Copies of this chain bind each other. A is one copy, B any other.
């Protein structure tokens, strides 16, 4: 992965805003811009930040635990080590680099950290400028290489799903199925799950974010599986809902409704389409079917280095779709007591219309 063009584009944005530098604290942005792959153990334990001057060599600041990895991976970066945290090192580097106005990622930095940075900045006479989503605005459009990686992640996801799907039988617990999925994905080369795998049987599927438990599968139970993996840094996200055994009529009718909503939304995805209109295309089908109140979440979200990123296909988003955006299409209905149905695919917005990244059709068409 060559990060040089991304860095140039970012430095141009930094200059356009009249800043001398920009501090990158969001880990996916850090990887996108530098190739440095370390994961953070939550926002409180960073494995490093990028200090991007408006011109010239970018810097990666990290601690002794990651210094070797940083030097190997972050091509073109000057790697600096901090011993007492990022802020004391910034206090030295900012004046040395003549950075008098520094932008920072307000949307991915703790409030308490900014309070400490503000004290430091006052001491050295540096202005801090909160910004949001400067790099995310670049990441929203995927380049060819990124689409290739997303495609591979989706295909591996489907391979894992089908392998495990073929082994599901009455008596297995939700936890066992979830474990088999996470195991299989690791065995087949995924870095890790993109999120905690959801496996929900029967009434448990009424929770869109159900946690797999010790419930055993009975013949005739509804099964909802929402799974994602990370391959080469890029995420997949896919949901299937099916019956262990022979589906009865109520299920089939409801599934067909959700599937029609999914197809209607997919057909609405094209360059220039407004996100909330795509959401509405699905929502209208479900409302017309009489389940309008039971589709409580947004239709979909962008996927890339993060499993949830821009754009959001939500009832409120006025963003326009553009070629190279990659989104999920995942309508669902949830009936407390009965269960839930969600169907989720990933698509890439093309020059016209969109391309479905999924091939698997398990349970989609009854």
The interface of chain A, by Cβ under 8 A from chain B, is 37-39, 41-45, 47, 63-66, 68-69, 84, 106-115, 130, 132, 179, 182-183, 186-187, 192, 195-196, 206-209, 211, 296-297, 307-308, 316, 334, 336
Contacts and interface: CB of A to CB of B under 8 A. Distances in A.
Contacts of A84: 316
11 contacts: A41-B195, A41-B308, A45-B308, A66-B209, A84-B316, A106-B110, A106-B115, A107-B110, A111-B113, A112-B132, A115-B130
A257 to B, nearest CB: 19
- For the complex of A and B, list the 4 residue pairs with the smallest distance between their C-beta atoms, beginning with the closest: A64-B296, A106-B112, A65-B209, A107-B112
A186 B175 CA distance: 9
- As for how many copies of this chain the complex holds, the number is 2
A19 B336 CA distance: 38
Nearest to A69: B207
A231 to B, nearest CB: 14
Contacts of A45: 308
A187 B179 contact: yes
A111 B129 CA distance: 12
A209 B41 CA distance: 11
A39 B179 CA distance: 17
B110 A336 contact: no
A37 to B, nearest CB: 8
Contacts of A111: 106-107, 109-111, 113-114, 130
Given A43-B43, A209-B65, A297-B65, A130 B107 contact: no
Contacts of A37: 211
A317 to B, nearest CB: 13
A315 to B, nearest CB: 10
A292 to B, nearest CB: 14
A192 to B, nearest CB: 8
A35 to B, nearest CB: 14
Given A37-B211, A65-B207, 9 more contacts: A39-B196, A41-B196, A44-B108, A45-B308, A65-B208, A65-B297, A68-B336, A109-B110, A112-B132
Contacts of A179: 183, 186-187
Nearest to A208: B65
Contact of A183 (B47, B183, B196, B297): B183
Nearest to A203: B68
Nearest to A187: B179
